[in-house]
């Protein structure tokens, strides 16, 4: 059994906030994969379903972001799970909008939701880091994350959430590479039948993997693309 947690704040006025992209991710998974109706439990909203062969619990803490760990800790202990069974979906300022990375363990980097979870279950859980970009100055961060996504963000946000839902069974089975590929197929769709090609980028830090798909084009396709 897996426990997947989407971070956000409760209430209609926060529903479209950048800070709530974690909630949006688990809501899309639940809707697309026929999960049970959400119900109040563990100071949050909980649903359960099956992804592939794995039973998965989806949790949206409703304690407000900076107390998220209370909800996560309660659920984890009730189901006799360990931090290794927990994956947290959260907004990430240090990634460009629409980018996604997986991370195992590590620090909370000042994220209040992760900080609270660290306090209640420790750091040894997985994270799905969902890029929302940075406003440019630390004094603008609070207002930025607590503002709604702009209309211009709608397309990439929908593609990202669809990709997460597409790859959810692979993530549940522990195949992070296939999950990332499913996301990339939505966020960087193939051109004329070619496989998506990632942009050159620095290698991710230890413990992280990126959301770019591998370049698995045939030599003939690479040659054809070169002269387009």
State residue 188's pLDDT score.
Answer: 85
Active site residue 19: yes
CA distance 179 to 175: 6
Sign for the CA dihedral angle at 152, 159, 85, 30 comes to positive
Give the mean pLDDT of the chain: 89
Mean pLDDT, to the nearest integer, of 185-189? 87
Where b means 16+ CB within 10 Å and e means fewer, 8-41 reads bbbeeebeebbbbbbbbbbbbbbeebebeebeee
Is the model's pLDDT at 198 over the cut of 50? Answer: no
Q: What is the CATH number of the domain that holds 112?
A: 3.40.50.1470
State residue 200's pLDDT score.
Answer: 41
The answer to whether 45 and 102 have CB atoms below 8 angstroms apart is no
Is the model's pLDDT at 210 over the cut of 60? Answer: no
Helices (H), 33-173: 68-78, 112-121, 141-145, 154-173
DSSP H or E segment with residue 133: none
Is the model's pLDDT at 215 over the cut of 80? Answer: no
- Domain extent, residue 124, equals 2-226
CA distance 56 to 35: 9
* 187: nearest Cα among 216, 171, 172, 167: 167
State residue 199's pLDDT score.
Answer: 45
State residue 208's pLDDT score.
Answer: 60
State residue 109's pLDDT score.
Answer: 83
The answer to whether 100 and 132 have CB atoms below 8 angstroms apart is no
| pLDDT-wise least confident of 23-32, 73-82, 96-105, 213-222 | 213-222
Is the model's pLDDT at 59 over the cut of 70? Answer: yes
The answer to whether 157 and 133 have CB atoms below 8 angstroms apart is no
Is the model's pLDDT at 158 over the cut of 70? Answer: yes
Mean pLDDT, to the nearest integer, of 36-62? 98
- 19, 90, 111, 118: the catalytic one is 19
| 3-class SS of residue 70 | helix
Which residues, listed in sequence order, are joined to residue 148 by a DSSP beta bridge?
17
Is the model's pLDDT at 224 over the cut of 60? Answer: no
pLDDT tier at 203 (50, 70, 90 boundaries)?
A: very low
Radius of gyration of the chain (CA): 18
Report the domain count for the chain. 1
Backbone angles phi, psi at 223, to 5 degrees: -65, -40
| pLDDT-wise least confident of 38-47, 163-172, 188-197 | 188-197
State residue 17's pLDDT score.
Answer: 97
pTM to 2 decimals? 0.83
């Amino acid at each position: 059994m897996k426990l997947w947690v989407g971070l956000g704040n409760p209430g209609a006025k926060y529903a479209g906030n950048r800070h709530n992209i974690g909630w949006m991710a688990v809501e899309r998974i639940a809707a697309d994969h026929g999960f049970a109706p959400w119900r109040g439990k563990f100071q949050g909203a909980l649903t359960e379903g099956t992804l592939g062969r794995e039973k998965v619990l989806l949790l949206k803490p409703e304690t407000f972001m900076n107390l998220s760990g209370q909800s996560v800790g309660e659920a984890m202990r009730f189901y006799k799970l360990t931090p290794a069974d927990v994956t947290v979906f959260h907004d990430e300022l240090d990634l460009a909008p629409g980018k996604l990375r997986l991370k195992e363990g590590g620090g909370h980097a000042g994220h209040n939701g992760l900080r609270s979870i660290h306090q209640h279950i420790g750091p040894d859980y997985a994270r799905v880091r969902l890029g929302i970009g940075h406003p440019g100055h630390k004094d603008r961060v609070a207002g930025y994350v607590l503002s709604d996504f702009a209309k211009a963000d709608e397309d990439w946000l929908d593609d990202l959430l669809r990709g997460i839902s597409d790859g959810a069974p692979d993530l549940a089975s522990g195949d992070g590479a296939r999950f990332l590929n499913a996301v990339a197929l939505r966020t960087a769709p193939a051109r004329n039948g070619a496989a998506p090609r990632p942009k050159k980028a620095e290698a991710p830090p230890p413990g992280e993997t990126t959301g770019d798909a591998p370049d698995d084009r045939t030599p003939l396709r690479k040659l054809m693309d070169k002269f387009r």
